[in-house]
Structure 1
Amino acid sequence: MDDTAKYLIHASISADGVVERSDVVGAVFGQTEGLLGDELDLRDLQQSSKVGRIDVQIDSENGHSFGQMTIASSLDKVETAILAASLETLTRVGPCQAVIEVTNIEDVREAKRRMVVERAKELLTESFDDTVMTSSEILEEVKESVRVEDITEYHGLPAGPRVADSDAIIVVEGRADVLTLLRFGIKNAIAVEGTNIPDDVATLTQERTVTTFLDGDRGGELILRELSQVGDVDYVAFAPDKQSVEDLDRAAVIRALRNKVAFSSLPDDGDYRAAVAAAGGTPGVPSDPRPESPTTDGSSSTPPADGPTDAVTEASSDNGGTVTVEKTTEVDTGAEAESAPDDVFDESEAETVAEAVDPVQPTLSLSDHVRETITDGSGLARLLDSDLGLLDEVAVEKIYDTLEQTEPAPRLVVVDGEASQKLVDIAAQRGVGDLVARSKGEYVKKPVSVRVRTADQLLT
């Protein structure tokens, strides 16, 4: 009966004497018999399973009895209400005066519905992953897993897959650094795994064009000193001061490698990191350790390094073109310094090197930013100030968090993706005036303070 019951009749019992459960049940059947006619006779309803058993809980104290009574019903609402009202006609239970009052009629199905709703909430919270990956995130995750799986070994040392056959290699400190470069498409790095340079690496450096890319700390300098003694180093790059290569993002990695310095231009003694910073622009190390030499007028000046301060970075871009960045420094003789050849990257493998063009240039117009970010398919977003200077450059999937946190707030945003409702809303909150995207999204409510344009509209 409990499985088919639709309603539960709850009633309270109070008697002026000591009574038991059997007295209450007998009073219910005896005093309601014939009261409601044959169709609602309680005994007949129980026999046909339309009414369940009468559950009674009764206690006695100080010569009085009180308790609760529950009756399950599968009748309809009207019939159940009539049956419940008939219980209140009882005036005696056993030998005692008694009062029975119906407290409520519970809809069993409604209770089950509440239970279903609560359980559904729990299942929804516990069983489903709230994270929905975008297409770009899915592509990046798959690409990254492939790159990580590409890590190999060269004579037992962690290395990229192109170390064995590439004309140029990058020497880094550990396995994590190799993985970082692989993640950015650079596959010709090899790790020395400590300050004790392996003989295989020393031999390899004598056969290839070698760039060291080391952490911006004392350990990186020690590795460079030992490698220069046992092997052959052509170019030097450091991570920013007190930072590790493995902690750098794509822009920082490419900036550091693009600003590599010829090892022959560094002083024989002194702080290598400071010398590289002075010659190539590595951030965080402000001074040049080279001694000052007197000039003809009695003042002093710091002699420039022999050779270029910056290398030429040239790599194939996604659309088949070539991107070249060249920075040179004149030597004391007035002659133009030679640019070092671009042998840091394996050109056939470093797909992302085309993004190495430093966007922090005051001469870039908005159209230039749009072409480099959207037309070239960079997969990046640029945050610009009112003078079109670059505040930050991040991957498209990180634009929401970056836009919310960047200080000062950008004036313009250029994004190689869709100008979605969420992006437009955040831009309006941060006071962005112009948003240029590859495409526009569907807007429920577009803020009037943000002008949204596509690259096609701007470049037409």
Structure 2
Amino acid sequence: MKYLIKAKVEVEGLVNRHDIIGAIFGQTENLFGEEFDLRELQERGRIGRVQLEVRHQGTKTYGEITVPSNLDRVETALVAAMLELVEKVGPYKARVHVYDIIDVRAEKIKKIVERAKEILRIWSLEKTPDLREVLREISESVKRGEVISYGPEKLPAGPDVDKSDEIIIVEGRADVINLLRYGYRNVIALEGARGKIPDTIIKLAKTKKAIAFVDGDHGGDLILWELLRTADIDYVARAPPGKEVEELTGKEIVRALRNLVPAREYLAILERKLKGKPEKPVEAKPEEREAKQPEAVAEKPAPPQPQQPSAPAAAPKAEPVVQVEVERVELPANVVEEIKKLSGTLEAILYDREWRPLEKVPVRDIYNVLEKIEPGKVYAIVYDGIVTQRMLDLASEKQVKLLIANRLGSIERRPPGVSVLTFSDVAS
């Protein structure tokens, strides 16, 4: 990471670490759109895990927050300002104050420069060195000094491969050096592998989130073909067509890592490409659709069905049908229209079992609103946001049966009793 955001938090009550972190993510969610949502930035490796140390004194809680950032200076400053937006943790008032942003690279360069001065003093006692050679060596040390040999195959890698929960797999040593130059320390190379993928890569991919980042040429296609079929890769990133990872600028690397493609989807595309078949949108397999949304299935308009006692009256036009636990519920036409209007508004609508709207709120306030509502009152929530693990857990606690959102985020577990649809499911 390039920067470390340092902040202090003070809460007017006794809370734990989980409560404070939940407040940070909840009260900053979607303030500047999905691309700058803290969870999205974390999933893409643009910020690290929020580190928090807490202590209790009397009836108050004090904490020290550290947020690693791989964003640029302006974006890092914006994340820091977002932290100070947190005003409550649970029912208690809270204050967050950012007191420092450390430039990690500057600190490293400072140490290197100090060491270089010491080396020059030692050399001057023996002989007059070639200054240009010294400067060249110092410059190269910044780029190469952090490359390590990892695993029995001695693969070129960054120093944080073991520490990080996520790894970036590239082709060769030059790719590792270039990513280190821009602050990506969790990178490891195949070292130009053709054919057999190193066992070290296969083992790492089983335990960590793995991103394959290869050149934008046919050679990159061939490496991906073998890598995706051999190792448990999660996402694929490509250099622009005709370019190699080792020559990309910082902005090009950021753009490539923002446009990640799920590995299974890319493998299907790659199969068509290498076999000479035209690419077409990948249709998810039934078991993959079930893995993404095991409790909610959107169906094409069907012939009229006998009405369930709790379902609204059928509209003249057949509307999407949803399987909610053991119920079969037809979405009313007015609800479908509201879903179409919500996209891009960052708003949420809460419905009761009769599909009567209970409340319309900004997405950033949805957690606070839902926490105050008694269990069983809200039947469905439609919102222009992301289905997160926190949202699923809170919906389960409040006995919400159906979430309809813009898209799915990173979900580790599915609580029973809550079904999920996306806007695209309803539109289909």
Instruction: Give the TM-score taking structure 2 as reference length.
Output: 0.33
Highest relative contact order (Cα 8 Å, sep 6+), 1 or 2? 2
Given the two structures, how large is their TM-score scaled by the length of structure 1? 0.30
**Which structure has the bigger radius of gyration?**
1
